[in-house]
Chains A and B, each alone.
Chain A
Amino acid sequence: SSELTQDPAVSVALGQTVRITCQGDSLRNYYASWYQQKPGQAPVLVVFDKNKRPSGIPDRFSGSSSGNTASLTITGAQAVDEADYYCNSRDRSGNHAVFGGGTKLTVL
């Protein structure tokens, strides 16, 4: 089982705001990174560190953290945002990396 826990599926109406969460003990010490993956494609980093986005990632993607929970928020979800989303962080030891099980986002 993963050290990071995500809800398997979340849905959002087009144009609305959705929050995807990731829980784990290591998140008390480390920020989560978030990845978007569409079918047949490699994951793409969308948010990392406290709340940073790589070049080219729309500003509707943002990250936050509280206690043992990290969140990815999509403000004004678009049809193109329908994908699987994964969080990752260092593990509790700080020496290894760990991924969450993923959340399938459906945009209605």
Chain B
Amino acid sequence: EVQLVESGGGVVRPGGSLRLSCVASGFTFDDYAMSWVRQAPGKGPEWVSSISWNGGSIGYADSVKGRFTISRDNTKNSLFLQMNSLRAEDTALYHCVRVYTGSYYLAFDIWGQGTMVIVSS
């Protein structure tokens, strides 16, 4: 069964840090680019960051650039998101997502259930 399982969420004060992890199973992890997508309570999905299969290409949403760092360890089928200088507006459910892409499309075909991050004083 293809599966993505996130961990590492929690409650953190503004300005604090958290490191999210995602473990993949059921597919060849290093065949795929991966992403983090978040959903604030009651809101739609927001793309956060993506990383290519070998980590050679990385992108961030403007809202997190300079504060968040995406990485992966293909030997452990794992994806990470280091989040620093957290703000209240970063409060959301963070999903680990598999990227399925072609020349003219970008799709997120497998989603984890997410890990909740709450930034509050």
A positions within 8 Å CB-CB of B: 29-33, 35, 42-45, 48-50, 54, 84, 86, 88-90, 95-102
Instruction: Please encode chain B, from 44 to 87, with 1 for each CB lying within 8 Å of some chain A CB and 0 for all others.
Output: 11110010000000010100000000000000000000000000
Given contacts A43-B111, A44-B111, A48-B100, contact A97 B105 (CB under 8 A): no
Find chain B residues with CB under 8 A from A45 CB: 100, 107-109
Of the candidates A31, A48, A97, the one whose C-beta lies within 8 Å of that of B50 is A97
- With both beta carbons as reference points, the residue of chain B lying nearest to A44 in the complex is identified as B111
Find chain B residues with CB under 8 A from A97 CB: 35, 47, 50, 106, 108
Instruction: Please encode chain B, from 81 to 121, with 1 for each CB lying within 8 Å of some chain A CB and 0 for all others.
Output: 00000000000000100001010111111011110000000
B59, A48: Cβ atoms under 8 Å?
no
- With both beta carbons as reference points, the residue of chain B lying nearest to A40 in the complex is identified as B113
Find chain B residues with CB under 8 A from A30 CB: 104-106
B109, A48: Cβ atoms under 8 Å?
yes
Find chain B residues with CB under 8 A from A31 CB: 104-105
A99, B107: Cβ atoms under 8 Å?
no
- With both beta carbons as reference points, the residue of chain B lying nearest to A47 in the complex is identified as B107
B61, A96: Cβ atoms under 8 Å?
yes
Of the candidates A33, A50, A86, A90, the one whose C-beta lies within 8 Å of that of B44 is A86
Q: Give min CB distance, B58 to chain A, whole Å.
A: 10
Of the candidates B104, B106, B114, the one whose C-beta lies within 8 Å of that of A88 is B106
B109, A49: Cβ atoms under 8 Å?
no
| Among B100, B105, B111, B114: residue with most chain A CB under 10 A | B105
- With both beta carbons as reference points, the residue of chain A lying nearest to B44 in the complex is identified as A102
Of the candidates A29, A50, A98, the one whose C-beta lies within 8 Å of that of B47 is A98
- With both beta carbons as reference points, the residue of chain A lying nearest to B45 in the complex is identified as A99
7 A-B residue pairs with Cβ-Cβ distance under 8 Å, sorted by A, are A30-B105, A42-B111, A42-B112, A43-B45, A48-B100, A97-B35, A102-B44
With A and B bound together, what is the CA distance between A43 and B44 in angstroms? Answer: 10
Q: Give min CB distance, A8 to chain B, whole Å.
A: 11
- With both beta carbons as reference points, the residue of chain A lying nearest to B98 in the complex is identified as A45
